[in-house]
Amino acid sequence: MRIAVTGARGFVGGAVCRAAADRGWTVHALTRTDWNLTTGPWPGAPRVDAVVHAAAAVGDWGPPAPVWHANLTGTRNVAASFPGARLVHISTASVYDPFVPTVLADEELAPVRRYLTPYAASKAAAERALSGRPDTVVLRPHAVYGPGDRTLLPRVLGAVRGGRLLLLPGDGTALQSLTHIRNLTDAALLACDGATAPGTYNIADADPVPIGEALRDLLAARGLRVQLRPLPKGAASWAATAAETAWRLARRPGPPRITRYAISHLAEERTLALDAARKGLGFHPAPTSFDDAASW
């Protein structure tokens, strides 16, 4: 199997490259040095059986234009550069409606027309741009974690106050479908196989977990004894709106500790149905686990 992987230096792209190499596949690991995918199609693209498009601008803060350029324009250019290959597009469960709970959502419930962030809106637009392309697989993971995580774990650790207290929007019981990086890489490699069915698939760990329990387990595995203090959703939403306004007026480059996007994922259920991935890809995910979190 010959594959190309965009975003090969990133969390997801790097993990896909390593997993594919471990299987003995030929891997073209593409970085911005090789090709800036926002500048146009790549005339020298290698001939491959599949391309895993993992490059993306990720986050819920910052100016929208670069995010749209990377996530929509970049995706269009990847598709144009590999017209004869299977395209495995790493999307996100953020394409589901952020204003209502996501309860064992089936794939047809997204994309929608309203989003809280340019990231979610641009990833939804990228899915729409690929909707007519043949031999395409779209994967929608939620809250990807594991070795090499540069987003979720740093943000959790950064929200711990004084090394001992973490304010948690909601009461901590909201169920969440989390996605270990190994489950996502397994799904991506399954999707590279032309014998699996094209389509859109939710990807997550075997079963949802309560968010409070998951955070306690994660922090404990890191050797941290942190008290989780519930924060009513209404108060959290007010605080997030005020913080975002203040941050924007001050033109701060980084996000505040609490945002409306974060609240939409922590205080509400965000769970995904995996029936389609199990049937179409032969996906059999492992349970949520933080056993190796001390080494991340």
What pLDDT digit, counting tens, does each position of 25-58 carry?
999 999 999 999 999 999 889 999 999 999 999 8
pLDDT of residue 41: 97
Residue 24 has pLDDT above 90, yes or no: yes
pLDDT of residue 231: 81
pLDDT of residue 161: 79
Q: For residue 8, what pLDDT band results from cuts at 50, 70 and 90?
A: very high
Mean pLDDT of 97-111: 97
Mean pLDDT of 226-241: 84
Q: Is 201 a catalytic residue?
A: no
Q: For residue 248, what pLDDT band results from cuts at 50, 70 and 90?
A: confident
State residue 171 phi and psi, 5-degree precision.
-105, 5
Whole-model pTM over 0.85: yes
pLDDT of residue 129: 98
Neighbouring C-alpha atoms within 13 Å toward the C-beta of 142: 35
Spatial CA neighbour of 262 closest among 105, 143, 91: 143
Domain ranges in the chain are: 2-295
pLDDT of residue 247: 82
Q: Residue 254: is it exposed, middle or buried by C-beta count within 10 angstroms (0-12/13-18/19+)?
A: exposed
Beta bridge partners of 199: 137
User: How far is C-alpha 211 from the geometric centre of its chain's CA atoms?
Assistant: 17
Look at 231 and 123; give whichever has higher pLDDT.
123
Q: For residue 7, what pLDDT band results from cuts at 50, 70 and 90?
A: very high
Look at 12 and 255; give whichever has higher pLDDT.
12
Neighbouring C-alpha atoms within 13 Å toward the C-beta of 57: 26
pLDDT of residue 169: 87
Among 115, 119, 201, 261, the active-site one is 119
Q: Residue 245: is it exposed, middle or buried by C-beta count within 10 angstroms (0-12/13-18/19+)?
A: exposed
Mean pLDDT of 84-92: 97
What pLDDT digit, counting tens, does each position of 158-213 carry?
888 777 888 888 899 999 999 999 999 999 999 999 999 999 999 999 999 999 99
Domain covering 2-295, topology: Rossmann fold (3.40.50)
pLDDT of residue 267: 87
pLDDT of residue 152: 83
Counting residues of the chain whose pLDDT is more than 70, the rounded percentage is 100
pLDDT of residue 44: 86
* Alpha carbons 69 and 112: distance in angstroms, whole number: 20
Peptide bond between residue 46 and the one before it cis (omega within 30 degrees of 0): no
Residue 111 has pLDDT above 90, yes or no: yes
Look at 168 and 236; give whichever has higher pLDDT.
168
pLDDT of residue 191: 98
Mean pLDDT of 273-280: 98
